[in-house]
Every structure is written in C-alpha cells, then in structure tokens.
C-alpha cells in the first residue's frame, strides 16, 4: 500500500476509510470477537446440547412422525390437562428426540412448561439441568447478566460498527484482487495484514451477509416505529406473516374429543413430503374449538416465513393453508434464515462453521494487528502508553481467555454435582468466572507470558475434554467412533483439532524472538511481540 504517497497530501478517501476501519474495528472488536465465536459454535447448537446431555439416547431410527406427535401430546395432556396450547417439535435425523412446550396456567414464572420426549414411546426423558448450546446462541446477541433488551441493543450497535468496518475495509484494501492469494510469511506486520485481509476477503460474502442479516433479525427492535403505528390486531397479523405464531384463541367451553393427531400429520406429509412436518401445535385440546396446526420442516427451505396447515381439531376440516408471505416478510424471512442456517445439511453446516470461524479469526487478527502496528512505533517499547497496554491486555483476555471460558463451560457440565440447585446457571457462572480469571491473569502477567500461558491452558482444557467425558460418562470417544455416533465423535475430534490450533499458536508465540530495533526485518507472526514492518505498510485492510 502506498503510505508514502498519501502521507504527503491531505488525507484521501482511502486514508479516511482506513482510520474509520481501524477505530470502529478496535472499539467494537472485543465484543464482536465474542459474538462471532459464540455465534460460530451455535451452528452446532443442537449437537452441543446433545453432548451436554449425555443421558439422552444415541440417535436411532425415527418412528412415524404422526405417532410421535400423538404420544407426546398424550403425555403432556395427562400431566397438564387444561393447557390452552402445546407445541411439539418433531424429531429429525439431526435432533432425534422430540421436544415440546406447553402453556401451564398453574406454572410459576412465564407460565410455560417444556421437556424432551422419547419419540418412540412419548415418555419424558430426564437429563441433567443445562442450557447446553442454547447458552452460546443466546449469549451471541443477548449477552448475560443484563436485561435482554440492553444486550440486543449492544449487539446491534456492535453489528453496525462491524458493517462500517466491512465497507470501509473493502475501500481501504487497494489490491483486493492482486493480493487475493498473497501471504508474505515471516514479515511481522505485513504478515498480520496479509492474514487479516485473506480471512476477510475470502469469506467476504458470508461476513457481509451475517452482519447485515444479524441486524435484520432484530430490525423490529431497532426500528419499531412502523409496527407501533398499527393497532394491536394488525400488529399481530404482521408478526404472523413473519413467524410461525398463532395465538391460542378462545375455547368454546364445551368438551369435544380431539381427533388423532396422526391424521393431520399425514396430510402435511402428503403436501410437503415424508420429512415435511416440522412442528405440531394443538390449541385447546378437548374443547369444541380445538385447533391443530402442522408447520413445515425448516430444513426444506431458506426463508423462516411460516408455512402451515390449520385444522379444526374436532371435525378435522382444513381451515387454512398458509404457504406464502408478502415480499417484505419474505425478504426478512430469507435474511433471517440465511443468518440461522437451520436449513443447512451437514456439508453446508460445516461450511457455515468454517467460514464463520474465519470471520472470528478476521476480528482476532484485526485486534492483534492494532497492537503489532503500534508496537513498532513505540518511543520506548518497555514502557508503552496506557491505551496501548489496555488494548494489549484486553486482546489477551478477549481471544485466549474466551477459549478458556468456553471450554470451562463444558467442564462445568461434566463436573458440577447433578443435584446442585441452579445447576444450569452455575455452568454459566463458571464460564464467566473462568473468563474473569483469564482477564485478571492477562492484567497481572507480562503480555507475552500471558498469551502463551492462556493459550496453553486452553489447549490443555480442550484436549482433556474427551478424557473428562470418558471418565464421567459411558460414552468415551473410542466407543462413539466404534458405534458411529458422529455427534459425539465429531464434537470431540473438533475439540482435539482446536486444541492443536491453540497449542501451535502457543508454541509460535513462545518461540518468537523480537529482533533488535535497527534491523529492518520483521519477526515471525505472533500475537504479543514487537515486529517491525519490512516495508512501509499501509493501514489495516
């Protein structure tokens, strides 16, 4: 890049964009890194949840969907006879148990009950109390220990910064095509810039999509005025265009038997194919005004706009076929669907995960680049100024510390006592305790040592998670491999691969020797080390 040319003149568009890119990136970077990484693992949310509930059975052949719906509904109605609404998510090959929620007027709190059921027998399955993968998913836009609304505004603000950083980064990056495949090894800041640019450019369609669609998923929160101008019934109609949301309505007060659910599910299967029924909802079972809704399986299409059949639960008449939404709702539904990737088959899901991981590394390398670039220009490298030290330490806690914290969450899941009160909450507390300790460590130790030690700690915790699992459950890695249980085996092999990545980073960081100042050659590319540019380097790409 042509730092030499631009410095002499008044700052041009590229310089201005570069400054914008650097400062939006840094200010939101620490939070964005956590949003990106916890969001990335959420593509395997269901798999993580299954890993964290080892009591649930290994995947089996799925029974008939209609029978499953009937049995689960019967189990819920036996327990909560007066429920005005119950919803059953049918099992899929990816998630082989049926899950359900039901309104319970007697229940404390939000008035909902929920549970996981055996699809073959309808028996309720007991598993340890845990949020599972849902914690990472919720954290990536709600955060924690704060009202959900604050978290979502913070996430939206950071996503807006990210969008600014993406656009300004593309403008700053002069040689986006010439340098498409370029990586100059062992050249300090230049290498970091090449890595940052490659991670950004190669995944650019995804990074732009995920940031923009992330804002769109919460658009009604950020820009509520359109909806607010409508009367409540019209508002509900808009919501019903966008999501599968049908209120329970009013009961007639007369008892009438509910037709068997299997018949309704079969009609949906006839319409959408044998795997086409996704969820079954029953309103006012046993009442003359009973309604049955069968919604389409999300795996078949990108858009999250609702498609469902509405039946009279007593006569069996098909009252409504909802299979289209308006263009505005569909645009929102497609972007929402693209963000969540619920439709993705296993290959597409892995692509989502890998490119999203590249996005995480893009934010991480950007954060480190900020310190690498400034370290080269420090007047006294032994006594950096305050802002530099803050950024350097926060980088360590945000990047290496998060790996430690996320793995600690798995360890809590296996080690906390089963009967502990508030067990699921304590798993989450443990995540934040580990993260807080990592921050304290990053503040107390010399930066290079803190990087190396925390990266090694993360590598060790990751690598030992399968060992811990072998010791605390009856599903060790060798058995998962032998039985072809790819949820368990795949997750543990991924943890081992991530352990190797952390170990490699720790080794390279530890081995790096800063060069003496006058030498005009950068060192190898490590996080916390002084590195001089080999050539005048432009601004972050």
Partner 1 sequence: MTAAHMVVFLLCAAGFAALALAMDRHQQDVLGRALPPRATQLLRGAGWALLLAALWQAVGAKGWALGLVAYSGHASAAAGLVFVALLAWNRWRGQ
- Contact positions vs partner 1 (CB under 8 A): 178, 180-183, 185, 198, 202-203, 205-206, 209, 301-303, 334, 338, 341, 343-345, 347-348, 351-352, 354-355, 358
- Cβ 89 to partner 1, closest distance in Å? 21
- Cβ 46 to partner 1, closest distance in Å? 19
- Cβ 269 to partner 1, closest distance in Å? 20
Nearer to partner 1, 55 or 323 (CB): 323
- Cβ 476 to partner 1, closest distance in Å? 28
List of residues 6+ apart from 345 with CB closer than 8 A: 299
Nearer to partner 1, 329 or 428 (CB): 329
Q: What is the DSSP string of 39-106?
A: HHHGGGHHHHHHHT-TTSPPP-----HHHHHHHHHHHHHHH-TT-SEEEEEPP-SSS-SEEEEEE-TT
Edge-to-edge strands, sheet with 308-312: 124-125, 112-117, 98-103, 85-89, 277-283, 291-296, 308-312, 318-322
Q: Are 441 and 404 in contact (CB under 8 A)?
A: no
Nearer to partner 1, 112 or 185 (CB): 185
- Cβ 475 to partner 1, closest distance in Å? 26
Partners of residue 293 on adjacent β-strands: 281, 310
Nearer to partner 1, 176 or 256 (CB): 176
Nearer to partner 1, 343 or 432 (CB): 343
In 3D space, the residue among 359, 368, 362, 383 whose CA is nearest the CA of residue 451 turns out to be 368
Q: Rounded to whole angstroms, how far apart are CA atoms 533 and 356? A: 29
- Cβ 353 to partner 1, closest distance in Å? 10
Q: Are 196 and 365 in contact (CB under 8 A)?
A: yes
Nearer to partner 1, 102 or 353 (CB): 353
DSSP H helices, 376-485, are: 386-415, 423-444, 447-472, 477-483
Q: Rounded to whole angstroms, how far apart are CA atoms 99 and 125? A: 10
Q: Are 143 and 155 in contact (CB under 8 A)?
A: yes
Nearer to partner 1, 342 or 393 (CB): 342
- Cβ 147 to partner 1, closest distance in Å? 34
- Cβ 42 to partner 1, closest distance in Å? 16
Nearer to partner 1, 40 or 97 (CB): 40
Q: Are 293 and 308 in contact (CB under 8 A)?
A: yes
- Cβ 177 to partner 1, closest distance in Å? 9
List of residues 6+ apart from 370 with CB closer than 8 A: 22, 25, 26, 29, 391, 540
- Cβ 230 to partner 1, closest distance in Å? 30
Nearer to partner 1, 43 or 137 (CB): 43
Q: Are 261 and 66 in contact (CB under 8 A)?
A: yes
How many Cβ atoms from other residues are within 10 Å of residue 106's Cβ? 9
Nearer to partner 1, 150 or 180 (CB): 180
Helix (H, G, I), strand (E, B) or coil at 289: coil
């Amino acid at each position: 890049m042509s730092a030499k040319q631009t410095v002499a003149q008044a700052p041009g568009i590229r310089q201005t964009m570069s400054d914008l890119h650097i400062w939006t990136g840094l200010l939101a970077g620490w939070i964005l890194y956590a949003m990106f990484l916890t969001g990335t693992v959420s593509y395997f949310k269901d798999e993580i949840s299954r890993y964290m509930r080892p009591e649930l059975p290994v995947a089996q052949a799925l029974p008939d969907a209609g029978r499953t719906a009937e049995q689960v509904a019967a189990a819920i109605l036996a327990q909560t006879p007066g429920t005005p609404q119950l919803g059953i998510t049918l099992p899929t090959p990816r998630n082989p148990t049926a899950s359900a929620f039901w309104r319970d007027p007697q229940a404390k709190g939000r008035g909902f009950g929920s549970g996981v059921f055996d699809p073959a027998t309808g028996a309720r399955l007991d598993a340890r109390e845990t949020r599972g993968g849902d914690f990472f998913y919720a954290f990536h836009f709600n955060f924690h220990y704060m009202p959900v609304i604050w978290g979502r505004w913070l996430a939206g603000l950071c996503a807006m910064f990210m969008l600014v950083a993406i656009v300004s980064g593309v403008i700053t990056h002069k040689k986006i095509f010439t340098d498409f495949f370029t990586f100059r090894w062992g050249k300090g800041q230049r290498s970091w810039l090449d890595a940052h640019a490659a991670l950004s450019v190669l995944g650019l369609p995804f990074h732009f999509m995920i940031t923009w669609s992330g804002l769109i998923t919460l658009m009604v929160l950020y820009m509520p005025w359109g909806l607010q101008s409508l009367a409540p019934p019209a508002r509900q109609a808009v919501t019903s265009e966008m999501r599968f949301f049908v209120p329970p309505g009013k009961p007639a007060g007369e008892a009438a038997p509910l037709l068997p659910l299997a018949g309704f599910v079969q009609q949906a299967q006839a319409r959408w194919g044998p795997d086409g029924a996704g969820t079954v909802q029953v309103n006012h079972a046993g009442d003359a005004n009973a309604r049955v809704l069968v919604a389409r399986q999300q795996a078949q299409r990108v858009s999250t706009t609702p498609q469902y059949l509405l039946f009279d639960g007593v006569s069996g008449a098909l009252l409504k076929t909802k299979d289209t939404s308006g263009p505005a709702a569909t645009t929102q539904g497609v972007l929402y669907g693209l963000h969540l990737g619920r439709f993705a088959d296993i290959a597409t899901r892995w692509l989502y995960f890998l490119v999203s991981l590249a996005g995480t590394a893009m934010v991480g390398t950007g954060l480190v680049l900020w310190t690498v670039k400034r370290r080269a220009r420090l007047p006294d490298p032994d006594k950096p100024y305050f802002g530099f030290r803050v950024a350097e330490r926060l980088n360590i806690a945000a990047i290496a510390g998060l790996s430690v914290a996320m793995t600690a969450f798995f360890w809590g899941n296996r080690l906390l006592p089963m009967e502990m009160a508030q067990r699921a909450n304590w798993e989450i507390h443990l995540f934040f305790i580990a993260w807080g300790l990592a921050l304290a460590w990053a503040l107390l130790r010399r930066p290079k040592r803190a990087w190396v030690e925390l990266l090694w700690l993360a590598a060790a915790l990751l690598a030992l998670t399968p060992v811990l699992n072998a010791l605390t459950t009856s599903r060790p890695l060798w058995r998962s491999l032998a039985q072809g249980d790819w949820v368990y085996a795949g997750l543990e092999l991924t943890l081992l691969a991530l352990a190797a990545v952390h170990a490699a980073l720790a080794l390279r960081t530890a081995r790096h020797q800063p060069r003496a100042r006058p030498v005009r050659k950068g060192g190898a590319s490590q996080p916390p080390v002084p590195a001089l540019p080999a050539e005048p380097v432009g601004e972050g790409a």
